[in-house]
């Protein structure tokens, strides 16, 4: 199912752009490398206390962060920058769930912010010209003791 861009306004329509799928959210370290290659970005990995943070900076200046459990699964992604990331690439197998929820929550007047809270997929995004940011996570994959509110 494709979402009609006129329902969401230009900022979120760009976020919904379709492209080849790569597993990221719920994926493993191979998906992080595939994302880096596809985005032609630079990767910086930082081990944290309960997870590893993989930060990809694209040539366009957008920063994508992928949070990986010690078991090797991406439990959250976030982005911030002048250009929106390819959400199909970042969400991987959760993209269809995102599309469905986004289509059901599309309302006139909410052109810039989108919030989805499904049982196993949560996303908040805000977008306007040259300023896009958001995050998504899979609650069942979040390590015990990690606050998703603190993820940037």
In percent, how much of the chain has pLDDT > 70? 76
Cβ contact 138:148 at 8 Å: no
What pLDDT sits at residue 51?
94
Domain borders along the chain are 5-140
Give the residue, 139 or 5, on which the prediction is more confident.
139
Q: In a 3-state reduction of DSSP, which class is residue 142?
A: coil
- pLDDT tens-digit map of 75-85: 999 999 998 88
Quote the CA–CA distance of 124 and 35 in Å, as a whole number.
20
pLDDT-based confidence at residue 15 (cuts at 50, 70, 90): very low
Residue found by looking up tokens 């995102």 in the block: 98
Assess whether pLDDT exceeds 80 at residue 104: no
DSSP 8-state class, residue 116: E
pLDDT at site 74: 92
pLDDT of residue 111: 52
Residue 143 token pair = 């390590």
Residue 12 has pLDDT above 50, yes or no: no
Asked if 11 and 102 count as a contact pair (C-beta separation under 8 A), the reply is: no
């Amino acid at each position: 199912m494709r979402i009609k861009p006129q329902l969401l306004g230009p900022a979120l329509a760009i976020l919904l752009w379709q492209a080849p799928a790569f597993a990221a959210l719920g994926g493993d370290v191979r998906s992080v490398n595939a994302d880096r290659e596809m985005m032609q970005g630079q990767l910086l990995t930082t081990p944290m206390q309960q997870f590893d943070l993989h930060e990809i900076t694209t040539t366009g200046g957008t920063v994508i962060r992928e949070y990986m459990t010690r078991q090797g699964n991406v439990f959250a992604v976030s982005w911030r920058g002048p250009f929106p990331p390819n959400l199909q690439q970042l969400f991987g197998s959760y993209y269809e769930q995102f599309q469905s929820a986004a289509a059901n929550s599309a309302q006139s007047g909410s052109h810039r912010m989108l919030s989805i809270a499904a049982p196993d997929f949560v996303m908040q995004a805000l977008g306007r010209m040259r300023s896009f940011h958001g995050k998504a996570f899979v609650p069942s994959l979040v390590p015990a003791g990690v606050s998703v509110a603190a993820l940037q």
